[in-house]
Structure 1
Amino acid sequence: MDKCSDFLPWLGLDASMQILMNFDDPADLVRASAVSRAWREFVIANGFCKNLCLRMFPEISKVAHVIEVNNMIEPLDIGSHSSLEWGSLKRDHRVYAHLAHSFTSFRRKDCILKAISASSTDNYPEESIDNTLQPSDRIEQRPSYWSSKGQSNPAMPETLTYRLASRLCVISEISIQPFQAFFQFGYPIYSAKAVRFRMGYLKEPLEAGSDHVDKYSTDHGYIEDNFISTYVSPEYPMAQENSLQKYELPEPVLCIGGILQVDLLGRVQRQQMDGLFYICVSHVKVVGRPLLPTFDVEFLDRREKFGKWILKYNPQAGCCMPLARSSEDETSVPSHFRVFRLRQRGARGWEQQMIINTLLGNVAVVGDYDSDEEVVV
């Protein structure tokens, strides 16, 4: 060991930064920061974890500052004391390391929380947008679907608006099932010609305690007038089939604000009874990873498109939440892994614990970053 030396000084600042900038796994950056005090300071001071998040999702550039709920270090003014500045850098390292790890997690679930409104509804509440949250097109032998109002123009679009499970979600795919009217002659399928997805937030959030506006009235215009999209997908053709049709996005999308709009473009099926064109949907499913309650956002100016926002991090909220789906439950993991005591020593304790958590599949970091507490993982 006496003959060992640190290669970072040999390479120099520029070459060392180029090497670490090519790391695409947050666990590798955390391991690098645990090598030595010099490496730790180098990784934290240069914000490699934040840069990794920016490469994954450029929208992160709109973060004005981050707040750690259990470590309320306020944004620093120019000329602040160096110790406070270093504390802020360590906080950012912690937050962005966990955020990047959340981005790379394979834990996926249905991300729709509530239906907000539809651009039109034929018969409310029997054909409400709420029915699209049910996976089946029949409930107790009764049809379950949303239906638009009839239109003589087949080019008229419709829009369904949903609230996602978190104001910060990583969305990878969306599925839609058109409704087949098994109670009508010929069993027609009322699909759209194409579909498009928009994600974003409302300039004026809905009133507290209000889950939706009047779904069958013209109040949907309120949603349209106040919606700001931060992402618009390509248009995808929809098949006139009674099946759950999956649309994979070109790449995972970071939805900031937690609002999804499904644009149904064009009409295919005319109803024999009145000669009008309708769109009917039995089910909508959104697959991704909600980052709440560990991460949340607060907009500084909702009326500004692509405006700045605050990233909030609450490590205790995500305690013991798995990072990925696993075929093994906790009892199947050997006891010497399930109960592992890590003695945090000095400034490297958090990085070491992050590595342990990464390997064991736990998202939370328990204990203070610079403490000497004994931690049970």
Structure 2
Amino acid sequence: MDFIHWLPPDMTVKILMYLEDPSDLVRVSAVSSSWRRFVIANGLCKQLCLRMFPETSSFANVMEVKSMDELVMHSRNDLMEWNCLESEHRAYSFFAHGVTSFKRRDCISKAISASSTDNYPEESIDNTLEQHDRIEQRASYWSSKGESDPEVPESLTYKLSANLCVITEIHIQPFQAYFQFGFPIYSAKAVRFRMGYCKSPVELESGIMDKSYAGKSSDTEKYGWTYLSPTFPMSQENCLQKFELPKPVLCVGGYLQIELLGRVQRQEMDGFISYVQVVGRPLSPSFDTEHLDASGKFTLKYYPEYCMIPLRSPGEESSTPSRLRSFTTRLMQRGVRGWEQMILNTLLGTGTVLGEDESDDELVA
């Protein structure tokens, strides 16, 4: 008995949403044409993404980039159209797979600004991207100007390597002043992390925020933070300290800020960080975002050609046959069935595609 035909739709949706693995939901959509229609019509892949990463609620619409000169835009007003639902289903199917299976790497692209800098550029935030605390016989670290009140927080802001990144850990190494008596470690008492987007990215590109943005404008005016982590205590040790987030976080917008809360050392020159690393995975070039307005809504852009090719770290040789790229045009011409099978094959790790003569109603799972 096919329970989809016998049970009320809302009960069927509730049953299928117990599936937690994106590959299982793709298998469901590949069982038959009626099952596929149900999964697509009810947006189950989108619901799964929203459950796994609440940050996807900021996606107002989907843009399918089929080629450099061909964009297919789908807004909420169009979602009742079947071809729009199919396109959204494909996008979120690939997206769910992309955010749950990846190799971890450093996701920082560049340092943006610090709440204060003591001696610029010798002690700028750029030094925190260097893994060693000494470069060419000189110390490498970021130093704040310092505050008489040790409870005044400091912050470091970074641009990530993509507008969409899944972040799992942040690593921070405090600086030990080997050139001072007693070799003090200038560490914060605790750290906290924010992720989000820049409301005026043009300002950053023009170099307005270069040295230190203290006193120019508030973070509320510059950034929209969509995630705030718990507070993590820091150890007073000269080592790379790893702070694992309670669950992987989807950073929509590509900006991360580290808040340094409280300080142990009493003197005013006491905000030193040697090295910062953000661990996760950028989702480009398969996915990107386009900021719509200051309300924090985005367009999710996905590139079908790149979605078919497993993403890899820079320098890693591809194990995927180059002929997969040549399948792109043919699959797009053949419609949804070919896409469903390619997604399924990608998740299962096989390299075959649906034969030209196979029936649309044939069971494949």
TM range (shorter): 0.7 to 0.9
Given that residues 116 and 211 in structure 1 are in contact (C-alpha distance below 8 angstroms), is that contact kept between their aligned partners in structure 2?
no
User: Distance between the aligned counterparts of 2:193 and 2:318, measured in 1?
Assistant: 38
Q: In 2 relative to 1, CA 324–164 (structure 1 residues): closer, same or farther, beyond 3 Å?
A: closer
Deviates more, 1:53-62 or 1:210-219: 210-219
| Pair 1:269–1:348, CA change in 2 (3 A) | same
Partner of 2:189: 193
Q: Which position in structure 1 is the counterpart of 2:356?
A: none
Residue in 2 that maps onto 1:320: 309
TM-score (norm 2): 0.84
- 1:351 paired with 2:340, answer yes
- Look up the SS of the partner of 2:337 in the other structure: helix
Q: How does 1:57-206 map to 2 (within 5 A)?
A: 57-70=53-66, 72-75=71-74, 85-206=81-202
Kindly state the Cα deviation for residue 299 of structure 1 after the two structures are TM-superposed.
2.4
Instruction: Trace 1:10-89 onto structure 2 (pairs within 5 A).
Output: 10-70=6-66, 72-75=71-74, 85-89=81-85
TM-score, normalized by length of structure 1? 0.81
Matched residue SS, 2:278: strand
Structure with more contact order per residue of length (Cα contacts < 8 Å, sep ≥ 6): 2
The answer as to whether partners of 1:153 and 1:277 remain within 8 angstroms in 2 is no
Instruction: Specify which of 233, 236, 257 is matched with residue 237 of structure 1.
Output: 233
Percent of pairs with identical residues: 57
Following superposition, the deviation at residue 181 of structure 1 comes to 0.8
Shift of 1:240: 1.0
The 1-side partners of 2:274 and 2:96 are apart by: 35
Equivalents in 1 of 2:340, 2:312: separation in Å?
17
| Unaligned segments of structure 2, at least 5 residues | 354-359, 361-365
Query: How many pairs are equivalent?
Result: 345
Q: Verify the 8 A CA contact 1:198 1:232 in the aligned structure 2.
A: yes
AA aligned opposite 2:241: Q
Q: Deviations over 1:212-263 (max 9, x none)?
A: 7231464663655312211111111111110111111111112111111111
CA distance in 2, matches of 1:347, 1:245: 47
Q: Which amino acid aligns with 2:37?
A: E
Q: 1:208 to 1:67 in 2, by over 3 A?
A: same
| Rounded Cα–Cα distance in structure 1 between residues aligned with 2:269 and 2:239 | 20
Asked if the contact 2:61/2:299 (under 8 Å) is kept, the reply is yes
Alpha-carbon deviations, 1:10-59, whole Å to 9, x = none?
A: 44534432321111111112111112111111111111101101111223
| Deviation per residue, 1:96-126 (Å, 9 max, x gap) | 0011111211321111111001111111111
Secondary structure of 1:115's match? strand
* Residue in 2 that maps onto 1:280: 272
Q: Once superposed, what is the RMSD of the aligned Cα atoms? A: 3.2
Task: Indicate conservation of the 8 Å contact 1:160/1:263, yes or no.
Answer: yes
**Structure 1: segments with no counterpart, 5+ residues:** 366-371, 373-377
Q: Deviations over 1:183-222 (max 9, x none)?
A: 1111111101111111111222234743672314646636
In terms of mean alpha carbon deviation, does 291-300 or 344-353 score higher? 344-353
2:283 is matched by which residue type in structure 1?
L
CA contact (8 A) 2:111 2:126 kept: yes
Matched, 1:265 2:261: yes
CA deviations over 1:126-173 (Å, ceiling 9, x no partner): 111000011111122321100111322212211111111111111111
